[in-house]
Amino acid sequence: MEIWKEIKNYETAYEISNLGNIRSKTRKIERVSPNGKKCFYTYNSKNLKPILTKKGYYRLGLSINDIKNNHQVHRLVAIAFIDNIENKEQVNHINGIKTDNNIDNLEWVNNYENFKHSIKLGLQNNSCKNGGKRKIF
């Protein structure tokens, strides 16, 4: 079942689901024209389509108050649905598929855990540029 939550810092404008889908919310926005006249615009809810980055992650630009910021979808899902009680800084795709942003495939990790996981799945080589081996504890 798909569950929707408001996106942190964008509560009035966007929602994200536990499956990694994003939609805008229906809302009215007031604008002031160059001649000083107030205008109201209604934006209807719609599903948004993220773009695929060169690194293989889905990314989406969200805007509020005419300020636009890009966000990685997997991080938005993790922030909305997964507790981060240990305050870890990265979100790992458990199955190694960067486009699978379902909450069952995401977990908070630190840099070392993320690196170890990528080697285990064969997503990253455990060798240094000079031909040596990195030490994994």
Reported pTM: 0.83
CA distances for 46 relative to 21, 63, 85, 131, angstroms: 11, 14, 33, 50
The pLDDT averaged over each successive group of 10 residues in the chain (137 residues) is 97 97 92 88 93 97 92 98 98 97 98 94 70 50
Residue 73: how many CA atoms within 13 Å on its side-chain side?
Answer: 28
Domains and CATH numbers, the chain: 4-30+39-120 (3.90.75.20)
Q: Quick one: pLDDT at residue 128?
A: 56
The CA distance from 45 to 25, in Å, is 5
Is the Cα torsion angle 105, 111, 116, 118 positive or negative in sign?
positive
